[in-house]
Structure 1
Amino acid sequence: MSRRQDYSYYTKSKEAQQQLYKRSLLVVIISQIFSGAGLAAGITVGALLIQDMTGNESLAGMPIALSTFGSAFSAYLVGRLSQRYGRRFGLGAGFITGGMGAFGVIIAAFIGNLPLLFIFLFIYGAGTSSNMQARYAGTDLANEKQRATAVSIALVSTTVGAVAGPNLVLPMGHVADFIGIPSLTGVFLLAGVAYVLSGLTFLLFLNPDPLMVAREIELVKRRDRNDAEDGEIVHHHKANKMGIWVGGIVLVLSHGVMVAIMTMTPVHMQHHGAAISGIGLVIGLHIAGMFLPSIFTGVLVDRIGRPVMVIASGVTLAISGTLAAYVAGGSVFWMSISLILLGVGWNFGLISGTAIVIDSTDVLTRAKIQGSIDVFVALAGTVGGLASGIVVAYSGFSMLSFLGTYISLLLIPLIIWMRYKQKKSSVQTV
């Protein structure tokens, strides 16, 4: 029996489609719980590990930069694999690769080999890109009014592992000491196991693949209506090209700002006398701010609109940057407030930007476009991670925070421009 015949049951039954949609979301939820724990390693102790090995503060941004650069490279590959073979194989391979990178970081730190550490930090980034692209897996069978909500369900599932991860730095450090590896790499041990489990969850349980089913449903619809007129197809793609650009820019700017400020927060707090447990708490709350609001964000994006939530993202990120520039670096309370807002602003931008991208793409090419956009999102993280260390080393953490505030506010004129172009286009059409 061919693959297309296997999917015929779903193309003929709305009830079957809904069942598969719910089942796919469940698989995504389980996977994201595991992978959330994997995100914490590079964020919480990556900068401290490099600083400990090199004694050079200006290189503190390298772990985030390398892992996000690896995330960019793997985002392209995961997107292409998903386009050709489905989410199941694309995401499964990405997560397992990220897990292998985490285990490699432990080996490199144990033998004190800095070049090898950089290589495995790059490979470790595959877990991050897979975690991000997993949010799309729940949207393949969602309708237009469910898409942002489906993304939010995937993100909020990440909260469980992502919040627990940074707060397990000390316990995992004790585990690392017990088995004879550097204590700062203990959380990478957690990341390796978490990513591998996440990948196996997709490989074993995401079957049938929702993207392949959605693609077959779309092909059947097109055959049933005997294809649209050529002119209508061209107009459709022209109308959505702007949405792809705007959604992509929202994702790039919000992610770049978040990574830049987040990367240097542990170093900034350590310089002001904060304990590693306090730093772990701040990063844990930050990650909670990144993912936990998804309970409400997806519903808001679907109900009050994508543009409003993009503006909310820009304003929230700007408030966070301004606050981070002025509060005491050693204050766990105030740094927590700032970093929570940083996470919330990122969350607003991610879900609204993702929804704009999904709205603007065709299911037959969606995975490839999503992967390509996530490449630029990850590159923004790379630039943010690299630049953050340099800016802080030469101009201070306050200057970094002010730069983040300025960039965040650019989201507002971007949305105003998009609404103007949409209104102009609708007038011309009429």
Structure 2
Amino acid sequence: MSAIATEPQAGIDDRLARRNAVVLAVAQALAGANTTVVFGTAGLVGTMLAPDPGLATVPVSTFVLGLWAGTLPVGYIARRFGRLVAFEIGTLLGFAAGLLCATAVVFAWFPLFCAGTFAGGLYGSAHQSYRFAAADTASEAFRPKAVSWVLAGGVMAGVFGPQLVIATKDLMPHYTFAAGYLAQAVVAVVAAGVLLLVRFPPPAAAAAGRSGGPPARPLPVIFRQPRLIMAVICGLASYATMNLMMTAAPVAMVACNHSVTDAALGLQWHVMAMYAPSFVTGSLIARFGSARVIAAGLALTAAAGAVGWAGVSLAHFWVALILLGIGWNFAFVGATALVTACHTPAERNKVQAVNDFFVFGAMAIGSFASGQMLARHGWPLVVEVVLGAVLATVALLGWVALAGRRRAAPPS
């Protein structure tokens, strides 16, 4: 058994963890609409506003860049001032993002639109931490379920976000999607109110000091754990491949003569597939282990790439996006559960922040590359890269596992 698992379970309260997980799931449903609206519309708005077709997905990429840039500050603020402060600052940025994007559409100003999606990404970096917050007071057995419950809130985001786009896209006829961004800003305010209902534990550093717990280890020591290395690789691969394919899909669908509504509905099915399995993913991890669930997720991601490569009909796009969503859920929830098992309470904020920094950094690189891939080489290259990335991930995981066994083997 690991050192982490044998430490005193101070502050563990599954009843509180269940309550917080439910409230955070509602907040996730509202905050997730920000991400859904951006991914469903930003590529299309980019096509209208960008000076070059190859720059159409840059607004989505700046969103991911904001997601990446916000991870370490969110971790620092949560550690220093508590999770509530970090999360409420995030909702303020979500409100600002909606206003900036709407203004950019009205004035047809591409740089301002990119600034708005960057602010939306900063908001995303805060609400991505909701899954970790749910695990703060959970026992080792309940932790995967707490994470899954919060991500299950994304099911409502998967319905609410695209429907928000469809319902508002024509409210300002000369400024397509502007009303949707204004509506998204209002939703961020509602999410801020919901977060006030969560009973957060005190900041990790202060709690560790009062309880006399072990001091936090240096990051290089923590990240030498093979389990944590594998968790980071799996989280990175699952999010990077999902984002690469999802970013390009709406633009590719419209380019293949499918309607904006078809693209929005395809995204809706994708986001629902990302989060609906969360109702059972925690139980699957408890029964079969994180490694098997992650392996299933990577296999489904590869299947998504294969379906996307096979054709460009509406059915091909939708089936590929659904498989991609389920694959992401299994791999990402499994990776998150592994991360929470590799640190002490005093270390959680910085370890989680660094993990997300790696994950969303890879997303940012993939997102910037997707626009150029799509504009210059088309949809087939996007899905071929996804297939290649999954194979490379499996090979890398095998190498890490082998190295870990060699390290653990007693000297002959």
Query: What TM-score do the two structures reach when normalised by structure 1?
Result: 0.87
Tell me how far apart the structure 2 counterparts of residues 61 and 428 of structure 1 sit (CA, whole Å): 51
Hey, what does 1:393 align to over in structure 2?
375
Identity, in percent, stands at 24
The structure with the larger Rg is 1
**Structure 1 residue 150 corresponds to structure 2 residue 142:** no
Residue identity in the other structure for 2:295: I
Change (3 A) 1:411 1:148: farther
Which structure features the higher share of helix residues? 1
1:317 corresponds, among 301, 315, 324, to 301
Q: Is the 8 A contact 2:154 2:271 kept in 1?
A: no
- 1:22-37 matched pairs, under 5 angstroms: 22-37=18-33
User: SS of 2:135's equivalent?
Assistant: coil
Q: How many residue pairs were aligned?
A: 403
Hey, what does 1:195 align to over in structure 2?
188
**Structure 1 residue 381 corresponds to structure 2 residue 363:** yes
Hey, what does 1:184 align to over in structure 2?
177
Hey, what does 1:18 align to over in structure 2?
14
Output one character per residue of 1:340-365: Cα deviation in whole Å (capped at 9) or x when no partner. 11111111121111111111112102
* Residue segments in structure 2 that go unaligned for 5+ positions in a row: 1-8
Hey, what does 2:5 align to over in structure 1?
none
Change (3 A) 1:425 1:324: same
**Residue range with higher mean Cα deviation, 277-286 or 57-66:** 57-66
2:316 corresponds, among 295, 316, 334, to 334
Q: Is the 8 A contact 1:60 1:264 kept in 2?
A: no
**Structure 1 residue 130 corresponds to structure 2 residue 123:** no
1:167 corresponds, among 163, 168, 191, to 163
Hey, what does 1:87 align to over in structure 2?
83
**Structure 1 residue 210 corresponds to structure 2 residue 206:** no
1:285 corresponds, among 259, 269, 273, to 269
Tell me how far apart the structure 2 counterparts of residues 156 and 87 of structure 1 sit (CA, whole Å): 20
Q: Is the 8 A contact 1:165 1:187 kept in 2?
A: no
2:107 corresponds, among 105, 111, 115, to 111
Q: Is the 8 A contact 2:204 2:349 kept in 1?
A: no
Output one character per residue of 1:324-382: Cα deviation in whole Å (capped at 9) or x when no partner. 01122xx3222111001111111112111111111111210211221122122222222
Change (3 A) 1:308 1:390: same
User: SS of 1:182's equivalent?
Assistant: coil
User: SS of 1:175's equivalent?
Assistant: coil
Hey, what does 1:412 align to over in structure 2?
394
Q: Is the 8 A contact 1:66 1:122 kept in 2?
A: yes
**Residue range with higher mean Cα deviation, 167-176 or 313-322:** 167-176
Deviation, 1:266, is: 1.0
Hey, what does 2:41 align to over in structure 1?
45
Hey, what does 2:56 align to over in structure 1?
60
Change (3 A) 1:239 1:128: closer
Tell me how far apart the structure 2 counterparts of residues 135 and 376 of structure 1 sit (CA, whole Å): 17
Residue identity in the other structure for 2:29: I
Q: Is the 8 A contact 2:243 2:363 kept in 1?
A: yes
Output one character per residue of 1:170-205: Cα deviation in whole Å (capped at 9) or x when no partner. 21113334xxx7122232223212222223322x22
Output one character per residue of 1:25-80: Cα deviation in whole Å (capped at 9) or x when no partner. 13212211211222211111100001012363211221110001011111221111
Q: Is the 8 A contact 2:208 2:346 kept in 1?
A: no
User: SS of 1:297's equivalent?
Assistant: helix
Q: Is the 8 A contact 2:59 2:113 kept in 1?
A: no
Q: Is the 8 A contact 1:63 1:121 kept in 2?
A: yes
Residue identity in the other structure for 2:234: V
Query: What TM-score do the two structures reach when normalised by structure 2?
Result: 0.90
**Structure 1 residue 249 corresponds to structure 2 residue 242:** no
Output one character per residue of 1:196-224: Cα deviation in whole Å (capped at 9) or x when no partner. 2223322x2223x23538973796374xx
Q: Is the 8 A contact 2:158 2:269 kept in 1?
A: no
Tell me how far apart the structure 2 counterparts of residues 120 and 238 of structure 1 sit (CA, whole Å): 36
Residue identity in the other structure for 2:76: R
Hey, what does 1:7 align to over in structure 2?
none
1:358 corresponds, among 325, 340, 345, to 340
Residue identity in the other structure for 1:251: G
